[in-house]
Amino acid sequence: MEVINKRDQKSLQDLLTHELDFKYATSKEVLPGIRRIVAPNPSPYTLHGTGTYIIGSGEIAIIDPGPNISSHIDAIINETKGEKITHILVTHTHADHSPAAKPLANLTGGVVMGYGPHGNEEGEEGADLNFVPDHLIRDNEIIKGSNWELECIHTPGHTSNHICYSLKGTRAVLTGDHIMGWSTTLVSPPDGNMKDYFASLEKMLFREDEYYIPSHGEMIKNPKRFVTALIGHRKMRERQIKKYLHHNQISYIPDLVSKMYPNLDKRLIKAAGQSVLAHLLHMQDLGDVKFSEDGWFLI
């Protein structure tokens, strides 16, 4: 029987923080050329709220306009007064990231851009099934404004259409929900995929970035260490599953959740179950586990 590696979990927890210096409806410079406005949608899933980012000056891009909350859209307009919004980009199609894109485009004339509509037509809880971009983004595409340039990095896992954006000249990547500063990322099937998530994390390790700027939480200043800790944490979760499935001790997801996430906020139990399912499906692809009418078991 494998033992849970406590060091993986501890190293990640040491890197996470709930701290963030912000005021709602007010923009704050994160790095030169990058300003953030936090949407007023705090929750156990969004921390303080969704970070909407303003890129450049004069003629600008908006990344993740956020939920369709009128006060937040007003804040974006007010905080960019005297500037022209030419591009509106989303990292992915969840209800706290993309619904404000169309209303903002109607007000400003900005072109709405994203990897595509939500990847699963039936969608999961929190999916924005109404998002349709004016321009389809592709991996490695370069999007240019008058004083800024963004490289698009396709990072599926959290959703199949998740995109990160690297701002040229800053060595910073806006990571959306792919990598967050306060929490691990939810991977929820059917659109979320743990195999893809592992691959997308490893993809980021090949880059030489200095900063990650997530949609939720503080800027990450040691990207490779952080990604390595995330991968270690996910592998630790799969070792936990193997431990609890050993000798058929536990075979159903609710039982695994109760063991793997003790003292979990009740509002997050369903999400934890989806994360465990994502791990089990990944482990099934690897040939480690199998599902039957009696539940999940080790092969």
Whether residue 161 lies inside any domain: the answer is yes
Give tens-digit pLDDT for 18-37: 999 999 999 999 999 999 99
**Could you tell me if 60 and 132 lie in one domain?**
yes
By the 8 A CB rule, do 217 and 18 touch? yes
Domain boundary among 189, 206, 231: 231
pLDDT at 283 over 80: yes
Tallying the residues shown for the chain, one arrives at: 299
**Could you tell me if 211 and 282 lie in one domain?**
no
Whether residue 1 lies inside any domain: the answer is no
**Could you tell me if 200 and 87 lie in one domain?**
yes
Chain-centre distance for alpha carbon 249: 33
Structural domain boundaries, residue 216: 17-231
Task: Provide the CATH number for the domain around residue 259.
Answer: 1.10.10.10
**Could you tell me if 264 and 145 lie in one domain?**
no
Q: Domain count of the chain? A: 2
Q: What is the pLDDT of residue 100?
A: 98
Whole-model pTM: value is 0.94
Domain boundary among 231, 251, 279: 231
Please give the order of strands across the beta sheet that includes 135-136.
28-31, 34-38, 51-55, 59-63, 84-89, 111-114, 135-136
Whether residue 12 lies inside any domain: the answer is no
Q: What is the pLDDT of residue 213?
A: 98
Confidence of residue 206 (pLDDT cuts 50, 70, 90): very high
**Could you tell me if 91 and 156 lie in one domain?**
yes
Question: From CA 279, how far away is CA 161, in angstroms rounded?
Answer: 19
**Could you tell me if 110 and 249 lie in one domain?**
no
**Could you tell me if 183 and 278 lie in one domain?**
no
Q: What is the pLDDT of residue 61?
A: 98
**Could you tell me if 213 and 258 lie in one domain?**
no
Give tens-digit pLDDT for 134-177: 999 999 999 999 999 999 999 999 999 999 999 999 999 999 99
Question: From CA 199, how far away is CA 157, in angstroms rounded?
Answer: 8
Give tens-digit pLDDT for 59-101: 999 999 999 999 999 999 999 999 999 999 999 999 999 999 9
Domain boundary among 211, 231, 251: 231
pLDDT at 211 over 60: yes
Give the CA distances from residue 58 to residues 39, 81, 203, 217, 257, in Å, rounded to whole numbers and listed in that order.
22, 10, 33, 27, 49
Whether residue 6 lies inside any domain: the answer is no
Closest CA to 38 of 3, 7, 2, 79: 79
